[in-house]
Structure 1
Amino acid sequence: MEKEYIQITSGRGPVECCRVVVLIMNKIVEQAKCLNYALEIVEHEDGPNDGCMFSATLAIEGENISSLKGEWEGSVLWVAQKNPFRPWHRRKNWFVGVHFFKPLQSDKVNERDISYETLRSSGPGGQNVNKVETAVRAIHVPSGTTVLASDERSQTQNKKLARERLIMKLSAIEEEKQLQQTHDVWMNHNTLERGNPVKKFKGDL
């Protein structure tokens, strides 16, 4: 059973690109379900408008993920038929980046850089959960990146889960930086709009 992460990013593009992040994410989720992959949204950054995201990170698990990777990896083009954000805008082509990656190896994250805080869980689990500080927040001190785990009843289990999520988030941030650099290269060479997309869609934003 393979497990990877999928990063979908607007490359800090305008609101239309942020909308396309959500549209492409929905298409990947739909296809993953049809192919019986286990998939969940593990991280996202909301965009400037409702229904928009600057980026989203999905965790995917299943067999032969490489086939899906080969289909989606790269830049994806959405040709807008209607633009509710800027109807007068003449541009129709909006690109987002899709990238598959594995999380950073645990030994590449210094344990001394991680701080843990315990707090009471507000989720289900009965009175015991509310009385005992079972939830754990993991903080990557150098970057200030934080995650919270409160899924389990045990503080020890939540600490382990928080560490895993923190490593995943740090990996996603690193991938975002790399994709941003790629986006900058596209823009510098004025090839973003007429680039070489791996997929092309037409539809309303």
Structure 2
Amino acid sequence: MFEAVESLVDEHAELERQLADPTVHGDQSRARALNRRYAELSAILATWREWLQLGGDIGAARELAGEDPDGEGAAFAAEAEQLEARRTAVAGRLRQQLVPRDPNDAKDAILEVKSGEGGEESALFAADLLRMYTRYAERRGWKTELLDATESDLGGYKSVTVAVKATSKSQHTGEGEAPYALLKYEAGVHRVQRVPVTESQGRVHTSAAGVLVLPEAEPLDVSIDDNDLRIDVFRSSGPGGQSVNTTDSAVRITHVPTGIVVSCQNEKSQLQNKEQAMRILRSRLLKAAEDAADAEASDARRSQVRTVDRSERIRTYNFPENRISDHRTGYKAYNLDHALDGDLDPLVASSVEADLHARLEAVGE
């Protein structure tokens, strides 16, 4: 498996050559992509060289141990064993770095929360989820931007869409810490069990909300023909359907070839709403294209790219027991209040670990 690293040396040198060209930095999107790949390869090659160096050191220590087995050779033999343990650990790290990664892991994310079963209670739960993700983003130093929202009568959300972006504060290093790399595990159906505010008898109800996480696509990632778009404008509406804008500022964009429809009404300007809608449309088209490619791939390829079924009911939030349970990984904790305040690291870590384990198995096969 490690022989594959040798082929990365030439790619790393080529990237270094391109990044030294001042004209490359005139295209910021391309420069960012090249820098991300360069950082990823630099980390792999550094680990690989450490693994090779340790191999040489082990050989030298064993040779010295053999020259004087009854004297100082014992110390060299012990050193060889220590170096062997270090090399095994480095090999494990290198194996993880070589596991096929989701090419979108270095991207920012667009996160959508939609109410589902449960009516008004589901909309209130959707608002709780949005707050949870906003707090999680704050903890990681990410920036959130509200793109579109449709509120319910009681202050929840029928649907809400936010962009989550890495910042310099988040110290994004290209090692899987970008928003999409972690938030993608949140996609799926989230179930809540609690007493709704509208329940007069104090009975626990079950409702659900859906979360969709998309890698934010840049114009470079997706080509859209303006002739394939149907754009409609209408007046924004608030809870209960009342008009909140006297002008036709809301925008609905239909991508005719795929039938994908995106609407935005959060901004006061029609132009701003159109820009936000196009951001969401690009991300949905990117995901649709990748899903289509995955469907045509082999089972092994799919297991590497989509190890977690994101259409299933992934998590339950039980308020009476203060319990949160992830049905994919088996993670369970009785600190629901902390999770809803943005402390999602243990939950996300359990998904990342399960995903890595599945990818390592696929590589082994």
The TM-score normalised by the length of structure 1 is 0.58
Aligned CA distance change for structure 1 residues 145 and 36 (closer, same or farther; 3 Å): closer
Which of 137-146 and 97-106 deviates more? 137-146
- Does the CA-based 8 Å contact 1:12-1:54 persist in structure 2? no
Point out the structure with max Rg over C-alpha.
2
Q: Secondary structure at the match of 2:112?
A: strand
- Answer 1 or 2: which has greater helix percent: 2
- Determine the C-alpha separation between the residues in 2 that align with 1:150 and 1:16: 29
- Determine the C-alpha separation between the residues in 1 that align with 2:199 and 2:139: 34
Q: Does 1:77 align with 2:182?
A: no
Partner of residue 202, structure 1: 319
- Equivalent positions of 1:123-202 (< 5 A) are 140=253, 145=263, 163-170=274-281, 196-202=313-319
Aligned with residue 209 of structure 2, among 74, 83, 96: 96
Q: Does 1:58 align with 2:167?
A: no
Name the amino acid aligned to 2:214: F
- Determine the C-alpha separation between the residues in 2 that align with 1:199 and 1:88: 23
- Determine the C-alpha separation between the residues in 2 that align with 1:146 and 1:88: 38
Partner of residue 44, structure 1: 149
Structure 1 unaligned regions, length at least 5: 118-135, 152-157, 175-194
Partner of residue 18, structure 2: none
- Does the CA-based 8 Å contact 1:73-1:198 persist in structure 2? no
Q: Percent identity?
A: 12
Q: Secondary structure at the match of 1:88?
A: coil
- How many angstroms does 1:74 deviate by? 1.8
Name the amino acid aligned to 2:157: M
Aligned length: 155
- Determine the C-alpha separation between the residues in 1 that align with 2:277 and 2:313: 33
Aligned with residue 32 of structure 1, among 127, 137, 156: 137
**What are the Cα deviations for residues 53-84 of structure 1, in whole angstroms up to 9, with x where unaligned?**
111111011242212332x222222221x322
The TM-score normalised by the length of structure 2 is 0.35
Structure 2 unaligned regions, length at least 5: 1-105, 167-171, 234-248, 286-311, 323-365
Q: Relative contact order (C-alpha < 8 Å, sep 6+): which is higher? A: 1
- Answer 1 or 2: which has greater strand percent: 1
- How many angstroms does 1:147 deviate by? 5.7
- Determine the C-alpha separation between the residues in 2 that align with 1:19 and 1:103: 26
